[in-house]
Structure 1
């Protein structure tokens, strides 16, 4: 209860925290009345885990870790009373994994990730028909592989691959497991390419692993609409820009417009209600770009800004936020890099379906 009282939350979370504290007191009373009440212990652990979720880990990681540790103790007690409680093992593994994330790449984190994998293993043994548990087990192994020695890494990565594949075979449209399998294969391809040592039975080259990775990532994007590209574009979003004919126009003349980026370039798109104002649209051809970088010119309107140097001159763009600016920068630079490597046709084939 003292740990729950230390949580500082916003107004919209505070009422939920009061409910959680009330629930925790109720489960504590139930345990006093019946120490063998494993359901009360399990639900008490869930309450502590949700309380931990409401703690800002960057501001108060100690409180979050302490709440998660208490939740783990309750899961331990519940499963000792009822060893067949597979949901307890599953949520216990999540709590352990959340603790591991707080400890970074340390020996403590390594030990916690190992504990998490064992809890996921137990959850799967008790309930084999759980693609989510298999997927989380694979993720825990993937995290563990980033901490252990190089000698241990390959074995752990291979095991992670087997868990993701098992999850997919239980649910063929489980896009998260499909995507995760693609990322772990890509990491394995990178390791193989760097070391020159073949893996998975000493028979799969780095090129084959890259190819396999692409299959799973592409399939995940196809199965989950939110992952899909905004075809036929690589990126769609809004940017604030000056009139085409006057890049140093007064701030009041800068307007926010929709832009699209494909393999050919960045293009301003007029919405239907904007088509009547006859304002020329901005277009930047990828082949004309000299550089793309963040701009800190104080004469520009407020907001994170990008400057694109082209063979025809400079173009200034204002993003809605720094996060959006980063994504625009990455997208523009990546498309230019693909163009410079002579791979534009490949990108065109991908984004035009």
Structure 2
């Protein structure tokens, strides 16, 4: 007997036993949604992941029917919607980039949405929802793609906000931003009329990929992705890396005078800030940044830094968006530290999301004891 026929015989025996066990349970109680759900779950789990045969698709389709019936009997069964979406996704993967696959991916996203609606504290469901949207975006007409990609970005970001060290969602967010950068670069356009250049998107992508690698440095896929963004030439930063080395992020925030946030709005100033593995630092201009680097071990540098806002990573207690009438108009940011709160204002709410994510990721990497890995990425 060949290995293939032996494996097939084992699958048939397993399915026969499964059918007998659950069919008897449902015959005794047709309203037993738990039996239907478990039957579907075990059937789908028994399908070989390497198979692409019609029998695999048929087994998955039968599992989907049972998930459908289980959720009809119990509309709040969020785990059934989640695993139903996984089974639909597996069916979609077997069909490549076809119209049939497009319809299946749409069904999968709807079921992930239902699962999240019933149980919002599910980062894995949000991550899978984002992946399904990413797959769907590769099939739909070009005019629909950007909207779907932006929705996928929001799902990955929501997953990270629920679980800051969710490295798979962090990496997936990096890859979807990288794909958006590629598309934007190819078309020569911007995102929905906003001034988001391909280089800015590439840089955002690199932040998430670097963070995923720092959290899981032994994952080969993260290592390969980091090598890719290292090899990309950034015209925006005029260097051979998509991060603004020796920093993780560089951008603009509106800030009050250092140490005095209770001042009129007219005294707040928009200035440059940099983020690295040590913390967030205000830089008034390029010349002062150069002076700070050159005089890092001198008293002059200490004097210079006293006039600038600096937040060290170990001092951070919490981080949040805020809307407060005491702040200038815009997207408010509150960094609560052991020394008291630091208030800043981002240029836009989209810009604020980027700052929130980047600072949270650095703090999470620090809290997980991986800050030296991140330091190696952005300083070496």
Q: TM-score range by the shorter chain?
A: 0.5 to 0.7
Matches within 5 A, 1:1-353: 8=4, 18-19=13-14, 21-52=16-47, 54=48, 56-58=50-52, 60=53, 62-200=54-192, 202-227=194-219, 343=240, 350=377, 353=380
Deviation at 1:49, TM superposition (A): 0.3
Root-mean-square deviation (CA, aligned residues, Å) is 3.4
Contact 2:230–2:240 (8 Å) recurs in 1: no
CA deviation after TM superposition for structure 1 residue 9, in Å: 6.7
Structure 2 CA distance, aligned partners of 1:334 and 1:86? Answer: 38
Q: What CA deviation, in whole Å up to 9, does each residue of 1:132-169 have, x standing for no partner?
A: 00000000000000000010000000000000000000
The 1:229/1:132 distance shift into structure 2, 3 A limit, reads: closer
Distance 1:70 1:210 in 2: 42
* Rounded Cα–Cα distance in structure 1 between residues aligned with 2:207 and 2:5: 43
Structure 2: gaps spanning 5 or more residues: 246-375
Instruction: Return the offset for 1:33.
Output: 1.6
Bigger RCO (CA 8 Å, 6+ sep): 2
3-state SS of the aligned residue for 1:226?
A: coil
Q: Is contact 2:67-2:81 (8 Å) kept?
A: yes
Post-superposition shift, 1:77? Answer: 0.2
What is the SS of the residue equivalent to 1:123? helix
Q: Give the C-alpha shift of residue 205 in structure 1.
A: 1.1
Task: Tell me, in whole angstroms, the C-alpha distance in 2 between the residues paired with 1:112 and 1:229.
Answer: 27
Q: Residues 106 and 47 of structure 1: is their aligned pair in 2 closer, same or farther, counting only changes over 3 Å? A: same
- Structure 1 residues not aligned, in runs of 5+: 1-6, 236-330
Aligned residues: 242
CA contact (8 A) 1:55 1:63 kept: no
1:320-341 CA distance string (max 9 Å, x none): xxxxxxxxxxx9x999999xx9
Q: Distance in 2 between matches of 1:144 and 1:336?
A: 28
- How far is 1:108 from its partner? 0.2
Cα 1:150–1:334 shift into 2, 3 Å: closer
Residue in 1 aligned with 2:323? none
2:231·2:240 contact (CA, 8 Å) conserved in 1?
A: no
After superposition, the C-alpha distances for 1:78-135 in whole angstroms (9 at most, x for unaligned) are 0000000000000000000000000111000000000000000000000100000000
Q: 1:351 to 1:82 in 2, by over 3 A?
A: same
Instruction: Please state how far the C-alpha of 1:20 moved relative to its aligned partner.
Output: 5.2
**TM-score, with length taken from structure 1:** 0.61
Alpha-carbon contact 1:138-1:160 (below 8 Å) kept: yes
